[in-house]
Amino acid sequence: MRILSVMTSVSLGMLLVACGGNGSETNSNTANSLPVVKSTQDVAISFAAQANGADVKCGAVNEVANLGTSNKTAQIQDLRFYISNLKLINSKGEAVAVSLTANDYQDFGVALLDFEDATGACSAGTADTYTAITGTVPSDTYTGIEFSLGVPDTGTDAIGKSIALNHSAITKITKPLDIAAMDWGWQLGRKFAKIELQPTSGVINQKGTPDTTDDAVVSSWVVHIGSTNCTGTDALGYSCTNANLANITLNNFEMSKQTVVFDLAALLANSDIGINQNGAVGCMSGATDKECPALFEAFGLDLATGNGSATKTQTVFKVMNK
């Protein structure tokens, strides 16, 4: 029985060789014929700034009409904002973090979107613009997007070390957080959004308390969103009672076919940019500034707490077909 078994095994082996039965070659050919499935996919998420269906640009020839409750016409003086915590929502409803490609406009999980080009009233800005965020995500089907408007307190560097972001000194960190124009020294952090306008008829400055200027008419009306009531030091760290990070979720977003739009007209829908009632001209996130409540509501924020509003849904960001 053992002899027969051995002979049978040898015979089968010879038969396989004679028939070209090379198991390893077959497995190799099979493996080579399988499609290569990438574990990640590249993403490029386009953003646009618009008002009343048209792109918003710097320059006198690009004045924006019908802004706010008094339908004012204005030039853009600045339009930049930070995006963080960027995620795409897959078909299962799971929010998946986007790993950002490091460059001058995005790093540490934060991207600076810049729509001004240093022309016209934007002369104090930079010539370069940046309107698309790039990175990678695990390969999947994605149907939505979510992100925060602003800069988180902390993040990680290239080697995974925890570092200060919002309250870092601009001289001790690299792009995109080293921009002096986005530094907010009096609040010990960053301007999350810097939106500045020059209404053609100026801004009537009503007397109020507190009041930052006594001029009867001023040229600019601004929206500066950032964390407030902040205290601390570089050595001990910082804390703010009002984070003012707006969390945005947009469903039914197809990255290859659609753009995320910042709607300036929607932001100003319940504001009069021709008048300053009190405090800073426009809104600098002050709790008692009469211009701030309507703007915070447009971002879906509660001015009193700095958290997401329980009653208001953001109206500033929307999805548009390319």
192 shares its domain with 301: yes
71 shares its domain with 203: yes
142 shares its domain with 89: yes
Residue 217, in any domain of the structure: yes
71 shares its domain with 25: no
Please state the pTM of the whole predicted model.
0.87
240 shares its domain with 138: yes
Residue 229, in any domain of the structure: yes
Residue 38, in any domain of the structure: no
Its domain, for residue 23, covers 2-33
245 shares its domain with 121: yes
pLDDT band at 33 (very low <50, low <70, confident <90, very high): low
Residue 37 has pLDDT above 80, yes or no: no
Residue 144, in any domain of the structure: yes
pLDDT 10s digits, 278-296 = 888 999 999 999 999 999 9
13 shares its domain with 54: no
pLDDT at 216: 87
Residue 131, in any domain of the structure: yes
How many domains does one find in the chain? 2
22 shares its domain with 133: no
Question: What 3-state class would DSSP assign to 39?
Answer: coil
91 shares its domain with 19: no
Residue 84 has pLDDT above 90, yes or no: yes
Residue 145 to residues 89, 116, 148, 155, 300: CA-CA distances in angstroms? 6, 24, 11, 20, 16
Residue 230, in any domain of the structure: yes
Largest CA distance in the chain: 113
99 shares its domain with 16: no
Tokens 């959004």 belong to residue: 193
pLDDT 10s digits, 142-184 = 999 999 999 999 999 889 999 999 999 999 999 999 999 999 9
pLDDT band at 13 (very low <50, low <70, confident <90, very high): very low
Separation between Cα atoms, residue 5 and residue 125, nearest integer Å: 87
Q: How many CB atoms lie within 10 A of CB 168?
A: 23
206 shares its domain with 116: yes
Residue 51, in any domain of the structure: yes
DSSP 158-196: TTS-EEE-TTS-TTSS-TTS--GGGEEGGGTEE-SEEEE
pLDDT 10s digits, 190-213 = 999 999 999 999 999 886 655 566
Residue 273 has pLDDT above 50, yes or no: yes
Separation between Cα atoms, residue 175 and residue 105, nearest integer Å: 6
Tokens 């499609």 belong to residue: 35
Closest C-alpha to 138, from 248, 259, 43, 22: 43
93 shares its domain with 14: no
pLDDT 10s digits, 88-143 = 999 999 999 999 999 999 999 999 999 999 999 999 999 999 999 999 999 999 99
Residue 38 has pLDDT above 60, yes or no: yes
**Which run of H or of E encompasses 88?**
strand 72-90
pLDDT 10s digits, 218-260 = 999 999 999 999 998 876 788 999 999 999 999 999 999 999 9
pLDDT at 10: 37
CA angle 208, 212, 215 (to 5 degrees): 80
Residue 96, in any domain of the structure: yes
